Chain A
Amino acid sequence: MASDQPLADSPTSNVAEYSVGEISQAVKRTVEDAFGRVRVRGEVSGYRGPHSSGHAYFRLKDDRATLEAVIWRGTFSKLAFKPEEGLEIIATGKLTTYPGSSKYQIVIDAIEPAGAGALMALLEERRKTLAAEGLFDAARKRPLPFMPRVIGVVTSPTGAVIRDILHRIADRFPCQVLVWPVRVQGETSAREVAAAIDGFNALAPGGPVPRPDVLIVARGGGSLEDLWGFNEESVVRAAAGSAIPLISAVGHETDTTLIDHASDRRAPTPTGAAEIAVPVRADLEAHLAQLGARLAGTVSRLADDRRSRVRALARGLPQPDQILALPRQRLDGLDGRLRSSLDARLAERRGRLAALGAMLAPARLSEKVARDRQSLDRLARDLPLGLSRGLDLRRRELAHRAARLTTRTSQRLHGDGVRRLAQAVARLDRRAQDKAGDAASRIAEAARLLKSLSYQSVLERGYALVRDADGTPVRGSAGIASGDRLAIQFAGDDRLDVVADGKAPKNPGRQKPARPASKGGGQGSLF
């Protein structure tokens, strides 16, 4: 600081003089004292990831100014989320100067996205990247075990979330639960959750610590920033890579974090995760009891069924006696007939034999021989006598016929003629009678016909016949003059004489004098 200062020609000689280094240090002190901890909102600009040294350099800017920013390596690795180009953030840190180039900058301790919109955009960006890798594919999802023996829970060991899960598991299906304690918020939470998922998967089956059959990663509700750890790539990759089926239950139902996409099932709440993880034991017991009862029932029913079928069939079977009864009856009948017919035949044969035997006596044979000899002798004796007698007989008969011949013949011829004459007369008579009868019946027939055709029969039907004075039938009013006498004839010879009254219609062509009616027929012209 000591220096030679010309006093005479320096109007400001009493002002303290700084070296560049001194002023730089002074400014640095002033800035750091005044802005030891500030929150600065701005858009990330010129960000190209951490430098090879691990430190990150970029600028925060708004529409009027820019601010140099640095994040030291140690801080950068602990950030809950990293800066991204163009992202509007709120950086927390201190201002300091960089004397080497007369600059000031902010040394950032923590950053947070400024506003949900920005964060959502980031989340969407990350989701797309991971989805493109196939981490969220439905084909990656594994079925959950029906009845897990051991459940691994990754969550905070204290608080409502683990209490809710344990309570619901105890209610539904008590089993072994292993809690892997993690912080579910803050910068380290993502790393711890990912490590816990990997740690459970690293457990060997049958080892001292039982390997869970299913995992639950749970956290209660919170802001988007609170839940941010479950959007971290490390957590999403651990969940997607878990060999043990994993249920995610982060935040409320409306909150969706990226781990929900990568998990095998997403539960709306931690309690929901417990319900998904285990069935209800009481239900299973009831179902099992029911199945047991049905099983027992089926066997007794099967036996009953078969027993009753056997019984029914047995009833259907006829008795052996019944089967044999009819044939036996026939056998008996045949047996009886066999015996009796045998006896009868035997008796008959015996009788015939006896009869034949009796007839077969030698005496009968000699008797017949003697008889035949006698008749032979007689015939021999009678032969010549019979011959002469026969001749006499024929001779006498011849004489007798010669005597009868003349008289009998003439008598017979005469009688024959008389008889034939009488027959002819009789036939003639009969013919004449037939002829007469025939004529009579034809006359009667004609009379009947005549009667049926007579005008009388018309009158019988209620008509009347009008005649003039001559008795001629009148066919109409023409020719009848007033004062003419007319006769009306009804059926059965019933007559009425009348005098025409009134004028006859003009009819110059006809004039016939009226004449008194007379009795009798003569009406042939009617017919």
Chain B
Amino acid sequence: MSETDPNADVTGLSFEKALEELEKIVDRLERGDVALEESIAIYERGEALRARCDTLLKAAELKIEKIKTGRDGQATGTEPLGD
């Protein structure tokens, strides 16, 4: 793949957008009315979208913090939420 990757934009997509496009691609491919050349191209895009969704899902982890406020009532930072 020496050419510019046509699926480079996928890494900027939100999970929802990526999932939506992936669903469309799978639907199209399953309908089978795509030309062979195009089916390969959109399959590759589908793979990229799936990987993107996977990354976003795996990246999520629980992190709980409490807001610290300054004298003016604005948030100045966070600290662990002690219970």
Bound together: yes
* Residues in chain A near residue B57, CB distance under 8 A: 281, 284-285, 288
Q: Mark B31-58, 1 if CB is under 8 A from A, else 0.
A: 0101010011001001100100110110
Instruction: Knowing A174-B61, A281-B60, A302-B39, say if A288 contacts B75 (CB, 8 Å).
Output: no
CB atoms of A176 and B75 under 8 A apart: no
The residue in chain B whose Cβ has the minimal distance to the Cβ of A154 is B67
State whether B66 touches A157 (Cβ < 8 A): yes
Instruction: Tell whether A295 pairs with B22 under 8 Å between CB atoms, given A170-B62, A176-B65.
Output: yes
Given A202-B74, A209-B77, A299 and B22 contact (CB-CB distance below 8 Å): no
**Contact indicator A299/B29 (Cβ below 8 Å):** yes
> A325 CB to closest chain B CB, in angstroms?
35
A180 and B67 contact, CB distance less than 8 A: yes
Complex CA–CA separation, A297 to B39 (angstroms): 12
Please tell me which one of the listed residues B50, B63, B73 contacts residue A292 in the complex, with CB atoms under 8 A apart.
B50
Q: Is the CB of B75 within 8 A of A203?
A: yes
Interface pair A294/B30, CB less than 8 Å apart: yes
- Interface check B16, CB cutoff 8 A: yes
Judge whether B50 and A199 touch: CB under 8 Å.
no
B35: min CB distance to chain A, Å: 10
Main secondary structure of the interface of A (DSSP, over half): helix
Closest to A162 in B: B81
Q: Indicate which residue in B22, B25, B73, B77 contacts A199 across the interface (CB closer than 8 Å).
A: B73
Q: Are B66 and A181 in contact, CB atoms less than 8 angstroms apart?
A: yes
User: Cβ of B7 < 8 Å from any Cβ of A?
Assistant: no
Given contacts A147-B16, A180-B75, contact A295 B39 (CB under 8 A): no
Is residue A371 within 8 Å, beta carbon to beta carbon, of the partner chain? no
Chain A residues, Cβ within 8 Å of B39: 298-299, 302
Number of interface residues of A (CB under 8 A): 44
A306 touches B36 (CB 8 A): yes
CB pair B63–A199 under 8 Å, yes or no, is: no
* Chain A hits for B53, CB < 8 A: 284, 288
Known: A195-B73, A202-B74, A288-B53. A305 touches B29 (CB 8 A): no
Contact across chains for A294 and B77 when beta carbons are under 8 A apart: no
Taking CB atoms, residues of chain A closer than 8 Å to B74 are 199, 202
Q: A106 near B: Cβ within 8 Å?
A: no
Whether a CB of chain B sits under 8 angstroms from the CB of A178 is yes
State A166–B81 Cα separation when bound (angstroms): 11
In the complex, what's the smallest C-beta–C-beta distance from A326 to chain B, in angstroms?
Answer: 36
Residue among B47, B57, B61, B67 with max Cβ neighbours from chain A (10 Å): B67
| Alpha-carbon separation in the docked complex, A133 to B26 (Å) | 47
B83 at the interface (CB under 8 A from A): yes
A298 and B43 form a contact (CB under 8 A): yes
Contact with B along A142-163 (1 / 0, CB 8 A): 0001110100000001100011
Report the Cα distance A294→B27, complex, angstroms: 9
**Cβ–Cβ < 8 Å partners of A455 in chain B:** none
A170 to B61 CA separation, bound complex (whole angstroms): 8
Q: Does any Cβ of A come within 8 Å of B64's Cβ?
A: yes
Pick 9 A–B contacts, CB within 8 A, sort by A. A173-B60, A175-B63, A178-B65, A281-B60, A287-B19, A288-B19, A292-B50, A299-B29, A302-B29
In the complex, given contacts A179-B66, A180-B66, A181-B66, what are 20 additional A-B residue pairs having Cβ atoms less than 8 angstroms apart? A176-B63, A177-B62, A177-B63, A178-B65, A180-B75, A199-B75, A202-B74, A209-B76, A284-B15, A284-B19, A284-B53, A285-B57, A288-B50, A291-B50, A295-B25, A295-B46, A299-B39, A302-B29, A302-B39, A305-B32
A residues with CB within 8 A of B: 145-147, 149, 157-158, 162-163, 166, 169-170, 173-181, 195-196, 199-200, 202-203, 208-209, 281, 284-285, 287-288, 291-292, 294-295, 297-299, 301-302, 305-306
